[in-house]
C-alpha cells in the first residue's frame, strides 16, 4: 500500500470527489494560484480551472456565506479556512446559516457544504492561532464535526464529508500535514460517526480524536514496554460520536483516559466522560481521567507552550493514575 502524506491524502480526496461530481468546488484564501497555504489544493486549479477552484479575499464571513448560498441552490461547496482560528470570523454563517437552514426552512434547503482547514496548535503560533475548536462546533445541532488523525482517515472521511448532504466541519491537524501513512490506491469511504480502534489492549482505554490520536499511539507504545496494554479509541468524528465504540472498549478495560487537544472546560472529553458514566457505570473500576490543554491562552514561549499542551508524558501519567500505579 502506498505511503502518503496527510496533505496528499486530502488532495486525493478533493481531486477524486471533484472528478466524481462537477457540483463540487473549492473556495478560500490562497487555494488556487498559491495552491493552498498548506498545499492541500496543489494542482487543482490546473486540473479543474478557476470556476471550480476559487481564490477569495481575506473575508471569511463573506466567502463562507457565498458557500452557504451556493449549497442552497444545489452546488456542493468546500470552503477552506486558512486555519480554524480565522474561521471564528465566519461563525455566524457556520452556526446560524449552514447549521440552521435545513431546520428553519422546514426541510426545504439542505446545505451540503464542507468547511475545512487546520485546527489546533502548531508550534509557537501563540494564543490567537493555536486553538482547537472541535468542542465549539460539536456543540451546535445541525453540524457534523470530523477530526481525522491519519492520512488514511483524512482521505476516507473527507470523501464522505463531501458526499454528505449536511454541513460538515472538517478539522485537519496543522502538524499532521507532513505525517505519512498507508493509503490504499483503490477508492474507499469512511462513514462519519464511526470510531476506529487503533490499538488493542485490555487494561485501559485511551479515547481521543484528531491530532491526539498520534499522541495516544506513542503513549501506548511506551506503556506497552512497561507491560501496560491499552485500547486506543480514535473517535475520528466527534459529532456524531460513536458511543458504542466507547462503551465496548470501556466495558472491556474498566478504565479510561480521555485525551483531547483543547481546553478542559466543556471540552470533547466532558462529553465522552458523560457517555462513560451513563453507559458504563457498572463497568468502571476507577474514575475516568482527562488529559487536555492547560486552562490558559496558549503561551508563545516554547517551554511554556510545551507545558500547556497535552502530550505523551501527560497521557502516560494519566493512564498510570487510573490504573492506580502511581
Partner 1 sequence: MATKVFMEALSPTMEEGRLVKWLKNEGDAVKSGDTLAEVETDKAIMELVARGDGVLRKRLLGEGETGPVGKLIGVIATAGENIDALVAEAASAASAASAASGAGPAAQVVAKAPDAAGAPSVPRASAEAQGGASPPPPTTVAAAPPPPQAAPPAPPAAPAPGGVGGNGGQVRSSPLARRLASERGLDLSRLQGSGPGGRIIKRDIESAAAAPAAAYAPAPPRAAAAGDFEDIPLTQIRKTIAKRLAESIGPIPTFYLTAEFDLSRVSEMRAAMLEMGDEFKVSINDVLMKAVATALAQHPEVNVHWLGDRIRHHNRVHLGMAVATADGLIVPVIFDADRKRMSEISREARALATLARERKLKPEQYTGSTFSISNLGMFGIEQFTAIINPPETGILAIGAAQDVAVPHGDGYVTRKRLKVTMSCDHRAVDGAVGAAFLQTLRRLIENPLMLVY
Q: Quick check: 243 binds partner 1 (CB under 8 A)?
A: no
CA distance linking residue 264 with residue 173, whole number of Å: 19
Cell of 90: 465566519
- Output 165 or 202, the one with its CB closest to partner 1: 202
Q: Are 284 and 255 in contact (CB under 8 A)?
A: yes
- Output 144 or 255, the one with its CB closest to partner 1: 255
Q: Are 94 and 169 in contact (CB under 8 A)?
A: yes
Q: Which helix (H) or strand (E) holds 217?
A: helix 212-225
Among 108, 141, 225, 281, binds partner 1 (CB under 8 A): 281
Among 106, 108, 185, 282, binds partner 1 (CB under 8 A): 282
Give catalytic status of residue 229 as yes or no. no
Q: Are 147 and 202 in contact (CB under 8 A)?
A: no
- Output 180 or 229, the one with its CB closest to partner 1: 229
Composition of the chain by helix, strand, coil, percent to 5? 40, 20, 40
Q: Quick check: 186 binds partner 1 (CB under 8 A)?
A: no
Catalytic member of 19, 30, 47, 129: 129
DSSP-derived 3-state class of residue 258 = strand
The closest of 212, 199, 207 to 171, measured between CA atoms, is 212
Q: Quick check: 317 binds partner 1 (CB under 8 A)?
A: no
Q: Quick check: 227 binds partner 1 (CB under 8 A)?
A: no
Q: Quick check: 285 binds partner 1 (CB under 8 A)?
A: yes
Q: Are 134 and 145 in contact (CB under 8 A)?
A: yes
Residues in binding contact with partner 1, number by CB under 8 A: 8
Instruction: Identify which range of 137-145, 207-215, 231-239, 284-292 contacts partner 1 by CB under 8 A.
Output: 284-292
Q: Quick check: 283 binds partner 1 (CB under 8 A)?
A: yes
In this structure, the dihedral spanned by the alpha carbons of residues 282, 283, 286 and 290, taken in order and rounded to 10 degrees, is -110
Residue 153: how many CB atoms within 10 A of its CB?
A: 24
Q: Residue 282 CB, nearest distance to partner 1 (Å)?
A: 4
The closest of 8, 60, 6 to 30, measured between CA atoms, is 60
Q: Quick check: 254 binds partner 1 (CB under 8 A)?
A: yes
Give catalytic status of residue 60 as yes or no. yes
Q: Residue 202 CB, nearest distance to partner 1 (Å)?
A: 12
Among 284, 294, 312, 317, binds partner 1 (CB under 8 A): 284
Q: Residue 280 CB, nearest distance to partner 1 (Å)?
A: 9
Among 1, 244, 286, 301, binds partner 1 (CB under 8 A): 286
Residues that bind partner 1 (CB under 8 A): 254, 281-286, 324
Amino acid at each position: 500500500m502506498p505511503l502518503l502524506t496527510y496533505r496528499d491524502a486530502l488532495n486525493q480526496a478533493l481531486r477524486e470527489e471533484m472528478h466524481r461530481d462537477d457540483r463540487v468546488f473549492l473556495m478560500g484564501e490562497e487555494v488556487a494560484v498559491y495552491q493552498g497555504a498548506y498545499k492541500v489544493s496543489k494542482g487543482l486549479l490546473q486540473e479543474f480551472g478557476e470556476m471550480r477552484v476559487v481564490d477569495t479575499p481575506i473575508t471569511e464571513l463573506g466567502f463562507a456565506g457565498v458557500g452557504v448560498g451556493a449549497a442552497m441552490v444545489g452546488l456542493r461547496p468546500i470552503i477552506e479556512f486558512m486555519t480554524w482560528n480565522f474561521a471564528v470570523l465566519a461563525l455566524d454563517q457556520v452556526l446560524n446559516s449552514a447549521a440552521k437552514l435545513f431546520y428553519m426552512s422546514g426541510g426545504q434547503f439542505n446545505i451540503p457544504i464542507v468547511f475545512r482547514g487546520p485546527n489546533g496548535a502548531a508550534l509557537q503560533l501563540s494564543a490567537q492561532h493555536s486553538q482547537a475548536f472541535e468542542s465549539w462546533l460539536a456543540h451546535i445541532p445541525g453540524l457534523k464535526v470530523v477530526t481525522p488523525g491519519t492520512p488514511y482517515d483524512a482521505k476516507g472521511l473527507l470523501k464522505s464529508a463531501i458526499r454528505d448532504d449536511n454541513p460538515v466541519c472538517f478539522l485537519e491537524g496543522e502538524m499532521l500535514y507532513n505525517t505519512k501513512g498507508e493509503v490504499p490506491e483503490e477508492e474507499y469511504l469512511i462513514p462519519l460517526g464511526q470510531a476506529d480502534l487503533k490499538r488493542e489492549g485490555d487494561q485501559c482505554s485511551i479515547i481521543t480524536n484528531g491530532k491526539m490520536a498520534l499522541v495516544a499511539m506513542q503513549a501506548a507504545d511506551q506503556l506497552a514496554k512497561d507491560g501496560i496494554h491499552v485500547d486506543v479509541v480514535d473517535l475520528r468524528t466527534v459529532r456524531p460520536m460513536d458511543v458504542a465504540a466507547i462503551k465496548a472498549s470501556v466495558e472491556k478495560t474498566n478504565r479510561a483516559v480521555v485525551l483531547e487537544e483543547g481546553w478542559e472546560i466543556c471540552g470533547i472529553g466532558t462529553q465522552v466522560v458523560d457517555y462513560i458514566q451513563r453507559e458504563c457505570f457498572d463497568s468502571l473500576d476507577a474514575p475516568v481521567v482527562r488529559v487536555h490543554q492547560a486552562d490558559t491562552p496558549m503561551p508563545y514561549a516554547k517551554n511554556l507552550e510545551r507545558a500547556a499542551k497535552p502530550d505523551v508524558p501527560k497521557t502516560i501519567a494519566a493512564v498510570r493514575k487510573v490504573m492506580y500505579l502511581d
